[in-house]
Amino acid sequence: MELNQSFATYRQFLKSNKWQSYSKSSDNLTRLFTRVSDRNLLCLKSISHCRAEVDSLIDALGDLKLKPKYDDTVESAHFIYENLPYDSVVFYQKHKKILVVSPRDLVCIAKTYRVSKDEVYILARAIDLPSVPPQKNIVRADTPISGWRLKVK
């Protein structure tokens, strides 16, 4: 699976010292960083602190009905395939039109990697799925890789 090949690269990319501080929340619980990748793509990384168990966060992130509650750009999301081998799922996500930016959608495959009981990565990348073709008036987005790193401090 392509995500398996990307996992080590993703971990290294996140831990790089090339990230530049962009902003932070007033309570200092969330900080946003940016950097440009080797492919000249602008990348964003956020570090947030919260009080929850790793497994509770995995459950919350895996509940696509909750996604519009923590990401207000998401209009809807649903699973296409759940409970695939190797802790993988395939899902569809539609983003709202914002100002002059057209609505976007994407189909992603996501996989959970448990590094230890206190550290988990959830990686996702956009895929083409013939059974879910692009829709008229919605731009099909491409996300080479995205995800979450959950770690107990």
> What residues does each domain of the chain span?
2-151
| Whole-number pLDDT of residue 85 | 85
Q: For the chain, which ranges sit under pLDDT 70? A: 1-3, 5
Range list of β-strands (E), the chain: 20-24, 30-36, 42-48, 74-84, 88-95, 104-116, 119-126, 139-140, 146-151
| Whole-number pLDDT of residue 68 | 86
| Whole-number pLDDT of residue 39 | 83
- Which residues, in sequence order, are CB contacts of 9 under 8 Å at separation 6+? none
| Whole-number pLDDT of residue 141 | 92
| Whole-number pLDDT of residue 5 | 67
For the entire predicted model, the pTM comes to 0.82
**Topology adopted by domain 2-151:** Alpha-D-Glucose-1,6-Bisphosphate; Chain A, domain 4 (3.30.530)
| Whole-number pLDDT of residue 69 | 86
